[in-house]
Amino acid sequence: MPWKLRSSKQEARPAAPHSDHFPESQLRGPKGSAHAQRLPAAPRFLPAPLSASGSVGFALHWSAGVARGWLGVACSRCSSVGRAIGSAGLNFCFWKLCVAIMRLVILDNYDLASEWAAKYICNRIIQFKPGQDRYFTLGLPTGSTPLGCYKKLIEYHKNGHLSFKYVKTFNMDEYVGLPRNHPESYHSYMWNNFFKHIDIDPNNAHILDGNAADLQAECDAFEKKIKEAGGIDLFVGGIGPDGHIAFNEPGSSLVSRTRLKTLAMDTILANAKYFDGDLSKVPTMALTVGVGTVMDAREVMILITGAHKAFALYKAIEEGVNHMWTVSAFQQHPRTIFVCDEDATLELRVKTVKYFKGLMHVHNKLVDPLFSMKDGN
């Protein structure tokens, strides 16, 4: 059980559950309006609950207007900007404490991992209560890994459980030079595998244009659109076998923004299966959100499935932050969830797997209570 220490009396007492420490209504949004109205008398320190975390850190918040180049990492609880230190993401903002949590959710197989991820997304949207003046903003990936998750989200929509009418989406990347209507473009992928099956307004589905006349201007405009939307509430991502997220290949800056990127040979080889195995047909450049762009999201969920990504998961979870494995940067994000199947854990230590499997009763509470009322499961 977590404990709260009062510095004046040094009196310990049980703390409320993490989600209740600081209501989202008090800590929401990059505008910081709530911060300008509330200033607690003194800081209070709460150990993060071990039942909810693998990598735990403390964060004292501070919302003053400090240069982003120095601070660099956004707190997912209040959207202030802070500087991550190790895996303990310190973000200073009006003496309010935010606990950095990294979860690893391990399911038996790909289908169960996809279902868990879809239920989590569904619950986050429902709990947010989006409306005409309050859109939920969702970051989305492409590739083979999220297909099962998309199928489940479509199922929930068709069953009347979920609406995307007041959801805005931002996709991670797009190939450069591939026509929008090409079957392997990410515009085609998203339309065929997701968007045409749900009730999202096409004007609210944002995908980078790899055929723009000015590619840098396109990247800058994409960042501006994210900012105008109020930032990303939940960014869902996948990774490659070399640990890259979006097209942030090994060696990418961990504070990078949306930009033009040359693809690594490993990525080109992995994507050749979508182009009849012909390497000459695979695009060699892409537009991609940066690691820093994804880190700015209030919450990040990364899907990792298959034995071929086991070493990347090991690098993401059990080793330190390294720009050669860009997914490792999310150890520093205050709210990261890695969702994986059993095969993806093959390179992890036995005690690591046992520890996180022992927390599944905690993780399942993130998807079961609200969803079961609608699903009847």
- The catalytic site residues sit at 173, 242, 244, 249
Q: Are 99 and 61 in contact (CB under 8 A)?
A: no
Q: Is the dihedral of CA 141, 363, 35, 168 positive or negative?
A: positive
> Distance of CA 242 to CAs 91, 176, 239, 267, Å?
29, 21, 8, 8
* Interatomic CA distance for residues 125 and 147, integer angstroms: 19
Question: Vertex 313, ends 310 and 318: CA angle to 5°?
Answer: 120
Instruction: Report CA 260 to chain centroid distance, whole Å.
Output: 21
How do 300-304 and 234-238 pair as beta strands?
Answer: parallel
* Interatomic CA distance for residues 9 and 11, integer angstroms: 5
Q: Are 16 and 52 in contact (CB under 8 A)?
A: no
Q: What are the DSSP calls for 328-375, one per residue?
A: GGGGGSSEEEEEEEGGGGTTS-HHHHHHHHTTHHHHGGGTHHHHHHHH
The residue among 294, 328, 309 whose CA lies nearest residue 102 is: 328
DSSP-derived 3-state class of residue 72: coil
Half-sphere CA count of 31, side-chain side, radius 13 A:
9
Instruction: Report CA 253 to chain centroid distance, whole Å.
Output: 18
The number of helix segments (H) and strand segments (E) in the chain equals: 14, 15
